[in-house]
Amino acid sequence: MRLAAVLVLFVLLIAVLASASAVVYVRQQNRVGFAELARLGVERDDLNFEYGRLQLEQATWADNNRIDQIAREKLGMLAPTPATTVVIKR
């Protein structure tokens, strides 16, 4: 009877140690995961800011007045006059 009690006690001790080790491991993984989540949140915010800046820049570059100004100054283009416009009918 004494041997069975010692064996049960030993098995319970091993189970408690395994459980404690598992708790430590899971808490560490939780900390690592939370740190990664925080880092990714900061990266997301930075990317959202950059995306907004790029959208504003694209809107500036694609502005009709700017395109018209470049066409007139750099390319020497002019708006067609009614005399030079040809209408093709089908």
Please tell me the predicted confidence (pLDDT) of residue 67.
85
**Percent of the residues in the chain that have a pLDDT greater than 90, as a whole number:** 61
Distance (Å, rounded) from C-alpha 30 to C-alpha 53? 35
Distance (Å, rounded) from C-alpha 43 to C-alpha 35? 12
Both tokens of 32, joined, read: 């690592």
Please tell me the predicted confidence (pLDDT) of residue 41.
98
Distance (Å, rounded) from C-alpha 63 to C-alpha 69? 10
Both tokens of 25, joined, read: 């491991």
Please tell me the predicted confidence (pLDDT) of residue 61.
84
Band of the pLDDT at 83, cuts 50, 70, 90?
confident
Instruction: Classify the phi-psi angles of 76: left when phi > 0, otherwise alpha if psi is within -120 to 50, otherwise beta.
Output: left
pLDDT tens-digit readout, 14-45: 999 999 999 999 999 999 999 999 999 999 99
